[in-house]
Amino acid sequence: MANPDQHSPIRAIIDIGSNTVRLVIYGGPARAPAVLHNEKVTARLGRNVGETGLLSERAMANALAALARYRTLLDLKGVGRIDVVATAAVRDATNGAAFLAKVAAMGFAPRLLSGEQEAVTSAHGVLGAFPDATGVVADLGGGSLELVDIDGDHCRHGVSMPLGTLHLARLRASGERAFAQAVRKALKQADWAVAPGSTLYLVGGSLRAFARLAMVQLHWPIDDPHGFVLDPGQALRLARNLARRKPDTLRPLAGISGGRMTSLPDTAALLAVLIRRLRPGKLVFSAWGLREGVLYEDMAPAVRGTDPLVAGMTAFVRDQGVTAQTGALVAGWTLAAAPPTGIARRERLRLAATLLCLAAATVEPNLRSDIARDWALRKRWIGAATTERVMLAVAMLAHGGRLDVPPALTMLITPGALHEAQAWGLATRLCRRFSTCAPQGLSGSALGLADGRLVLRVEPALAALVNDGVERDLRALATHLGVKSQVRVLG
């Protein structure tokens, strides 16, 4: 059940992976949970499991120390619901059960995922972030690579292979040809095949680091890798070039740890083989994976069916004093400025843009100059593709009176979508100027298109609200829509 207070911790997930042990505390709406706390310890549980079959004493000590800290933090914060999941390293080690017994002694209830369960849970995280996604999910962790087919809300053929980042350097030591053969052999042994042209959804910190580096090299105007899309040919060229680099020649990149940077050439080499072997139609990077999959699996069907963008946006703007009811009223009042696409998804995006514009109006004017970039493009919006993020930003710019859009953004959006988003912002600006979005002002007026004119109809009691500023905003919107403007006082 969603918590009305976005900042109240409601649930924690601890992921005991092969490389890191991570704690994430979530709050906010169930469909678009907000990360309230996120920390990790690089314990490297899986570092020597392939050679010795054991979790090393040092690695276990590091992991248990991290878990002891997490236990204390969760008790201090009063987080009652805690999920603890363990994956490849613990699964493959002969002393994995003994390690989990020590974890249980701390008051946790650890759950050891099989390879298939790990693959399916990661895929559920992708489905939570990209509703109705179809294609293949590839989740790269420290100890393993999981692949699973997804189609809407269904997952099939989940497999786990020992191709995690901790193993890649050793596999590449014999040369790139031998490395490619080893990956192909693992795919064959897993009986893995997929129809060419499928979308490949990429999950895991190392793959997101690859996306961040690609975004920098491509001068991408958005720096959040979630939802970033790459053409497979472009991705293959980037991966091949990166795979040839020595780790110490890579420049540090904000948001990527030193360990991630060191493993990037190995990650790129694996990705290059996967692209050649799976022949995807496009690559989509996802910030949601295993941990969010645990959340998604517990969602009620009614919660799963809601739009994550609107859910997240509603929670976000509430902190600015904007309610969902106000957003719905304004979106209804401005409907005349929206072309009848008949696409439910586009209407939800328009509602989200309306909410974001109204929230921006509550911010101190001196702080508004970069707000479109920071809120629309930099904040992580689950359920919003790159084009939709740009439409949010464009709507906010228009709401602030700016129709000049940076060229870096116009390259990511069609002229039609650009024009449409600007109309959303201009219409919301008009509504706010005319009525301050007061319900009585909206119910006593209407905006409509008739006989080639954009007409603002106003009840006589509200006629005094129409001033030069309102008429100017009405003309600006009408001009944008290619019609004349008119104010009619009813009666």
Per residue in 314-364, pLDDT tens? 999 999 999 999 999 999 999 998 877 656 678 999 999 999 999 999 999
Note the pLDDT tens digit of each residue in 47-62. 989 889 999 999 999 9
* pLDDT, mean of residues 458-480: 97
pLDDT of residue 433: 97
Strands 11-16, 21-27: pairing kind: antiparallel
Given this model, what pLDDT does residue 259 score? 80
Cα dihedral 200, 153, 389, 1 sign: negative
pLDDT for 50: 85
- At 4, is the pLDDT very low, low, confident or very high (cuts 50, 70, 90)? very low
Q: Distance of CA 219 to CAs 5, 215, 418, Å?
A: 37, 6, 20
Average the pLDDT over 183-189 and give the result.
Answer: 92
> Chain-centre distance of CA 326, in angstroms?
26
| Mean pLDDT computed over 137-153 | 93
User: Is the pLDDT score of 165 beyond 50?
Assistant: yes
Taking residues 164-193, report their average pLDDT.
92
Q: Return the pLDDT at 252.
A: 84
Query: What would the pLDDT profile of 377-398 be if each residue is shown by its tens digit?
Result: 999 999 999 999 999 999 999 9
Residue 417 pLDDT > 50, yes or no? yes
| Confidence check: pLDDT of 92 > 90 | yes
Mean of pLDDT over the chain: 93
For the four alpha carbons of 267, 269, 273 and 278, in that order, the dihedral sign comes to positive
Q: Which domains does the chain have, with CATH numbers?
A: 11-112 (3.30.420.40), 116-289 (3.30.420.150), 308-489 (1.10.3210.10)
